[in-house]
Amino acid sequence: MPKTPFLERLAQGPILADGAMGTVLHQMGVRLGSCFDALNISDPALVANVHRQYIEAGAQLIETNTFSANPYKLKEFNYDDRVVEINEAAVELARRVIEASFRDDIYLAGSVGPLGVYMAPLGRVKEKQAYNAFRRQIYTLIYSGVDVIILETFSDLREVAIAVQVVKDIDPDVPVVASMTFTRDDRTLLGDSPMYVAEKLANTGADVIGANCSGGPAQLRRILDTMRQTQPDARFSVMPNAGWPEMVSGRVIYAATSDYFADYAVTFEGLGAGLIGGCCGTTPDHIRAMRAALDDERRDHIVQPLKPRDDGEDPIESNAPPSELERRLASGKFVVTVEMAPPRGSAPEKVVAAAEMLRSAGVDTINVSDSPMARMRMSPWAVAYLIQDRVGVETVLHFPTRGRNLLRVQGDLLAAHAMGVRNVFVVMGDPTQIGDYPEAFDTHDVVPSGLIRIITQQLNLGVDQAGNSINQPTSFFVGTALSLNHPDIDKEVRLLKKKINAGAGFALSQPIYDPYVVERFLKRYETVNGHALEIPVLVGVLPLYTPRHVAFLQNEVPGIDIPEKVRDRINAADDPAEEGVRVAQQLVNDLKDLAQGIYLMPPFAKYHLAAEVIDALTVPAS
C-alpha cells in the first residue's frame, strides 16, 4: 500500500518527528566538535542505530544525519569535496532502517541547516553563493529519495528563503518545512519577532513553517501561539530543545524530562502544530513519552481557538541631539579633522598634549585610530574619552570589525557611548599578519556595511543585534571608508551606496594628491545613481615627508596614486617635509569647493605638520 503524501497526512493529524541526532551520538561517545555528518560514511552503523531507536520509540518522521552537510560546514573538516557522497549515504542508510521496521507510516526528511557563515551585508557570502551551496546538498537529498526537506535552526530569514527557493526550483512538488530558532527574548539572532518571522516564512512558499531549537518547550509554546495568530491558515512545525544546556563534568546536559515533553506534545497539538518533534537534548525517551501522550485518548486533542493578536510595542526612537561633527557637517561648514594613534603603552599624556596643540591650531575633530597597521596600542575609546574630557575636542572613534565577534562589537560600542563618544568610523581594519601578532585571531562576524546597519537601525533604535532591549537608544553618527582612487570606480560607487543605504552619515577617504580624483568620483557617483552624493566627504590628506615615504606610498599602498610632478617636488626639495606641507596646503585649498572637509593624517605622528597645514588655510577651519 503506497504511503499517503506528506501534506495529505499532515492534514489528518500531527506527525511525530524524531529528536536530536547529535545528542544521542554524543551519548554514544562521539566527541563534540567532530563532524557528525561524516559518520554517514565512516560509521554508518552508529547513525543507523540512532534512527532505529527513534523508530522504536514511535517516531513517524526520521531526519537524515545531514544538518551540517553543506559545502561551508564540511569545509571546516576538509570534507567539502564529499558533499554528494555524505548526503547520499545519509538518505540510503536512513531508508534501509525505515524499510527494516516494516512500517509504512514513516516519512524520510532531508535535514538542512544554515550554511554556518553570515550572508552579506553581515558577512561576505552573497545570495548566489548561498543558493549554489544549498543546491549541492538539497539536490542530492531530493534525488536520493527523501519525502520532505526540513530547513531548521535558521536565524536569517533571507538565508532560509534562498533555501526554500532551491527546493522549489529543483522540484516544486517536494514539501518543504522552514523553521527558525529564537533567542531568550523570543527574537531571532538577527532581531526578528515571531510575528515578522511567520509572515516572511509564509511568503517564501514553504509548505510548513515553524520554530525549533531555541530555549525549550515553554518558549516555543509562546512563539507558536504568536506565529499562529499571524498566519492562522498556515501549517506549523515545532521542535524544541530540552531546555537550556548546561556543562556538567565535561558533558552537555539538558534539564527537560520526557514527562515534561509529553505534556507539551499535547499542548503543541492543541495550538495547531502538525509536525511535532524534538531538537537538541531530546532522546528516544522524550519521543517515546510524546508518542504515548499523543496516542492517549484520555487527553484533550482539540485545537484551541485563536487568541486576539497582540502587535507589541512601537519601536523606540532616539531623541538625542546630533553630535557636534554631525551638526557642523549639516550646516555646511568646512570641517578639519586629524587622525591620532593611541600610545603604545599606558601613558596617554603625549597624545593628550598633541590633541591640545591641534585644538589650538583650529582642528574641529580628532580621529582616534584603532591598532593602525595591526600594531598593539591602547584601546582607542579610552583615548577618545580622555581627549574629549581633558581637551574638549570631539572625537571620531575608529571601529574595525576585524578581530571582533558580535558580542564584543556591541559591548565595545556601548562602552564607547557610555563614555560620551558619539562619532564612529566603521572600517574593516588591518589584517593581523602585517603587524606585531601575525598569529592573532583575525576573523570577524560582520562586515562594515553590516555593522553600520546594526548601529543605525538597531542600537540607535534601542535594541541590540539579537533584538534585546538596551534600555536606551544610542545616538551614534556613523562614518564609512571611501577609496576615491579605486581602480574599479563603479565598484566603489556601488559599495558606498550600499553603506549609505545601511545608514552611513559621512565618509572619510584615503589620501589623494590630485583634486581631480574627487571631482571624477563625484561625477561618476551621480551618473550611476542619478543623483548627487547624499553624504558629506572628508577627503584624506597625508603630508609627504621624505622621498622614501613617497616611494613607499606610491608602490606599496593600494589606492594611493601620487602624480609624478608631486613626486618630483618632494624628491628635489632641500627640505622634503616642508615641501610636503606646501603640497598639502595647496591641495586643501583646492578641495574647499569639492568636499565638506579634510581628514589630515600626519605621517609618523608628526602632529605639528598637521598644524602647519591648518595654519595656512585661507578660510577658517570651522
Check which CATH number belongs to the domain holding 256 and give it: 3.20.20.330
Is the residue at 319 inside a domain? no
Strands (E), 379-530: 394-400, 423-427, 477-482, 506-511
- Is the same domain home to 268 and 397? no
- Is the same domain home to 389 and 526? yes
Mean pLDDT of 185-210: 91
Please tell me the distance from the alpha carbon of residue 299 to that of residue 287, in angstroms, as a whole number.
Answer: 17
Percent of the chain residues past pLDDT 70, beyond the cut: 90
- Is the same domain home to 370 and 255? no
Percent of the chain residues past pLDDT 90, beyond the cut: 67
Check which CATH number belongs to the domain holding 587 and give it: 3.20.20.220
What per-residue confidence (pLDDT) applies to 252?
60
- Is the same domain home to 511 and 400? yes
Is the residue at 77 inside a domain? yes
Domain limit, last residue, from 295, 319, 354:
295
Is the residue at 378 inside a domain? yes
- Is the same domain home to 109 and 256? yes
What per-residue confidence (pLDDT) applies to 545?
94
Chain segment 144-181, per-residue pLDDT in tens = 999 999 999 999 999 999 999 999 999 999 999 999 99
Is the predicted pLDDT of residue 89 greater than 70, yes or no? Answer: yes
Is the residue at 312 inside a domain? no
Is the residue at 199 inside a domain? yes
Could you tell me which of 360, 318, 320, 355 has the C-alpha nearest to residue 339? 355
57-84 in b/e form (b: 16+ CB < 10 A) is bbbbbbbbbbbbbbbbbbeeeebeebbe
- Is the same domain home to 344 and 277? no
- Is the same domain home to 238 and 354? no
- Is the same domain home to 133 and 74? yes
What per-residue confidence (pLDDT) applies to 434?
39
Is the residue at 511 inside a domain? yes
The packing angle between helices 564-572 and 576-591, to 10°, is 150
Mean pLDDT of 108-129: 90
Could you tell me which of 462, 449, 398 has the C-alpha nearest to residue 424? 398
Is the predicted pLDDT of residue 430 greater than 70, yes or no? Answer: no
Is the residue at 326 inside a domain? no
- Is the same domain home to 288 and 142? yes
Going from the C-alpha of 52 to that of each of 36, 59, 69, 148, 328, the distances in angstroms are 17, 10, 21, 19, 70
Residues with Cβ within 8 Å of residue 423, at least 6 apart in sequence: 323, 325, 326, 365, 394, 395, 396, 397, 476, 477, 479
- Is the same domain home to 21 and 87? yes
Domain limit, last residue, from 239, 273, 295:
295
Chain segment 216-250, per-residue pLDDT in tens = 898 899 999 999 999 999 999 999 998 766 655 55
Specify the number of domains making up the chain: 2
Cell of 54: 527513534
- Is the same domain home to 148 and 65? yes
Please tell me the distance from the alpha carbon of residue 145 to that of residue 391, in angstroms, as a whole number.
Answer: 70
- Is this structure's pTM higher than 0.85? no
Is the residue at 24 inside a domain? yes
Going from the C-alpha of 344 to that of each of 242, 350, 377, 436, the distances in angstroms are 49, 11, 4, 12
Range of the domain at 254: 6-295
What per-residue confidence (pLDDT) applies to 311?
46
Domain limit, last residue, from 244, 270, 295:
295
Chain segment 504-528, per-residue pLDDT in tens = 999 999 999 999 999 999 999 999 9
- Is the same domain home to 256 and 341? no
Chain segment 361-400, per-residue pLDDT in tens = 899 999 998 865 546 578 888 899 999 999 999 999 998 8
Averaged pLDDT score across all residues of the chain: 88
Chain segment 317-370, per-residue pLDDT in tens = 444 678 999 999 999 999 999 999 888 878 888 899 999 999 988 999 999 988
Chain segment 14-53, per-residue pLDDT in tens = 999 999 999 999 889 999 889 999 999 999 999 999 999 9
